[in-house]
Chains A and B, each alone.
Chain A
Amino acid sequence: MNMIETHNLTKSYGSFTAVSRLNLHIRKGTVYGFLGPNGAGKSTTMKMFLGLTAPTGGTFQIDGKSYPRDRTAILKEVGSFIEAPSFYGNLTGEENLDIIRKILGLPKSSIEDALRLTGLAEFRKRPAKKYSLGMKQRLGLAGALLGRPPVLILDEPTNGLDPAGIHEIRSLIRSLPEQFDCTVLVSSHLLSEIELMADDIGILNHGRLLFEGTLDSLRSSARISGLPSDNLEDTFLAMIDGDNKCRGRQKGGADR
């Protein structure tokens, strides 16, 4: 069963198409790695899932609920972390989480739970503006994990973390489906990172989905297409490069 499904999801800004006819299938209880270079449309897609930006075409369902009809019901089920950590700098980490807790109608114990999961418990009373970049990132994650939502949307969650922090957060994300029975959509521009935590991956370039499936199917698909398959990073780069060249040829043909 798919937890998130999109049908020809499109987002355009004037003549620029950020996301083009996207068809994603994210299975329940899995970690789905959303991969693509900077500007591929990953964050835009995630923002559409959260209602932060309106799609210009297509539809999507999260846990069987459709946007925009069930917007509030969708947001009740989704924990999110988009682009950079969002918080109130004048409030402490604990106060920031308390605001989210009140809106979601969760018990007070959920704050303790989220702080412990992200390793922020000892810094709970410190104003968020005095947090280091890594701590801000953890606070953003704590906000997403609050109440253990059934769907987690995480946009480059390990940005700004030190190697130990990256390892810790990666292990946490990897363990979430099993621990909390949730589905995780996590984006990155590094295949090496996604490789270590995702069950399925989707590769996006210039708003178009180039590949969707398991890592094994990516390897076999690369082998069939004559792309390097020993190192997945090389496969990814070759795939993006091939698509860019193809787009360049199409554009050149259209210009002529």
Chain B
Amino acid sequence: MTFGIEIKKLKRTGYLPACLGAAALAALFPAVNMAARSETFTVMPGAPLDIVTDASWQVMAMLNVMLLICGACLMYHIEYADSGIQKMSSLPVRPGQIFFGKAAVTALVMAVSLVLETSALSLCADRWFPGFEPDIREIFIRAGFQWITLLPTGVLMLLIASLCRNMWVSLGTGIILVFTLSVLPTDNPAAAFLPFCSPFQTFSSASGQGLIPAFIAVCLTESLCFGIAELICQKLRRYFE
């Protein structure tokens, strides 16, 4: 029920069209990149899908992270702009239900975007690397891994947005965090697991280092911790409001 209500709240905000637009833009990027520099990439050694992904993923991940930041800010802006959240808090809703509803919407939107993006990568590999055969299972495995690496960033961004009544504060915080953390070297194992950094990690690079299980465990733990932090913040807020 909460999921349906959270979807309904987004009506006329432009959230869903913007998400689809950003996903389409991210999916379009590898095609444009390959079309413009195909001779650079087609001579490279390695698996075609890994080459295409490595060539475009940084930009695609940045678009995904930006989408998460703007999406989280928008979701809480509609709550605070006309005090809708105050009405929600005076209704028989369990603490955290609104937050986790928004997290579920974000997770679903990201899943759809990532399937679209990994499909685009696969289609590019098929187009520019003769002999490459697209594999649906591979597309879903890669999309699933990227989804898990995006999860802590999405949940942390929702936590930040829920704490800031002014949308510009949460938007600014998100932008600062993405640019601060994304300049950290991705080969640094500790930095790679941080929110805002993990989405830039590619499946091929993580599997090459044998870090897939570690990424899954750390990202899920981080997401859970941010969810618990939200519940604590909500409880504390009642004492100061």
A interface residue numbers (CB < 8 A to B) = 13, 47, 50-54, 56, 72-73, 75-76, 78, 80, 82, 84-91, 95, 98-100, 102-104, 127-129, 143
Residues of B within 8 A of A78 (CB): 90
Are A86 and B87 in touch, CB under 8 angstroms?
yes
Are B90 and A52 in touch, CB under 8 angstroms?
yes
Are B12 and A90 in touch, CB under 8 angstroms?
yes
Which one of B4, B11, B84, B92 has the highest number of Cβ atoms from chain A below 10 Å of its Cβ? B92
Interface SS of chain B: helix
Residues of A within 8 A of B240 (CB): 13
Residues of B within 8 A of A73 (CB): 92
B interface residue numbers (CB < 8 A to A) = 1, 4-5, 8-9, 11-13, 78, 81-94, 238-241
Shortest CB distance A239–B (Å): 29
Shortest CB distance A18–B (Å): 11
Among residues of A, the one whose C-beta sits closest to the C-beta of B240 is A13
Contact partner, A51, options B9, B84, B90, Cβ 8 Å: B90
Are B91 and A104 in touch, CB under 8 angstroms?
yes
Are B12 and A143 in touch, CB under 8 angstroms?
no
Which one of A52, A73, A103 has the highest number of Cβ atoms from chain B below 10 Å of its Cβ? A103
Are A90 and B11 in touch, CB under 8 angstroms?
yes
Which one of A50, A51, A75, A88 has the highest number of Cβ atoms from chain B below 10 Å of its Cβ? A88
A-B contacts besides A52-B86, A54-B238, 8 pairs, CB < 8 Å: A54-B239, A82-B86, A86-B87, A87-B83, A88-B84, A89-B81, A90-B11, A143-B87
Are B241 and A88 in touch, CB under 8 angstroms?
no
Are A91 and B4 in touch, CB under 8 angstroms?
no
Given known pairs A90-B11, A95-B11, the reply for A103 and B89 (CB within 8 Å) is: no
Are B87 and A87 in touch, CB under 8 angstroms?
yes
Residues of A within 8 A of B94 (CB): 72
What would be 25 A-B contacts, judged by CB atoms less than 8 Å apart?
Answer: A47-B241, A53-B238, A54-B239, A56-B239, A75-B91, A75-B92, A85-B83, A86-B82, A86-B84, A86-B85, A86-B87, A88-B78, A89-B78, A89-B81, A90-B9, A98-B8, A99-B5, A99-B9, A100-B91, A102-B1, A103-B1, A103-B88, A103-B91, A103-B93, A127-B12
Q: How far is A86 from B9 in the complex, measured between Cα atoms in Å? A: 14
Are A51 and B238 in touch, CB under 8 angstroms?
yes
Q: How far is A82 from B83 in the complex, measured between Cα atoms in Å? A: 10
Q: How far is A80 from B1 in the complex, measured between Cα atoms in Å? A: 22
Residues of A within 8 A of B93 (CB): 103
Are B9 and A91 in touch, CB under 8 angstroms?
yes
Residues of A within 8 A of B13 (CB): 90
Residues of B within 8 A of A56 (CB): 239
Which one of B81, B84, B86, B87 has the highest number of Cβ atoms from chain A below 10 Å of its Cβ? B87
Residues of A within 8 A of B84 (CB): 86-88
Are A80 and B90 in touch, CB under 8 angstroms?
yes
Residues of B within 8 A of A127 (CB): 12
Are A95 and B8 in touch, CB under 8 angstroms?
yes
Given known pairs A47-B241, A102-B4, A102-B5, the reply for A90 and B92 (CB within 8 Å) is: no
Are B82 and A87 in touch, CB under 8 angstroms?
yes
Residues of B within 8 A of A75 (CB): 90-92
Are A129 and B82 in touch, CB under 8 angstroms?
yes
Q: How far is A13 from B83 in the complex, measured between Cα atoms in Å? A: 22
Are A103 and B92 in touch, CB under 8 angstroms?
yes
Residues of A within 8 A of B85 (CB): 86
Shortest CB distance B202–A (Å): 37
Are B92 and A89 in touch, CB under 8 angstroms?
no
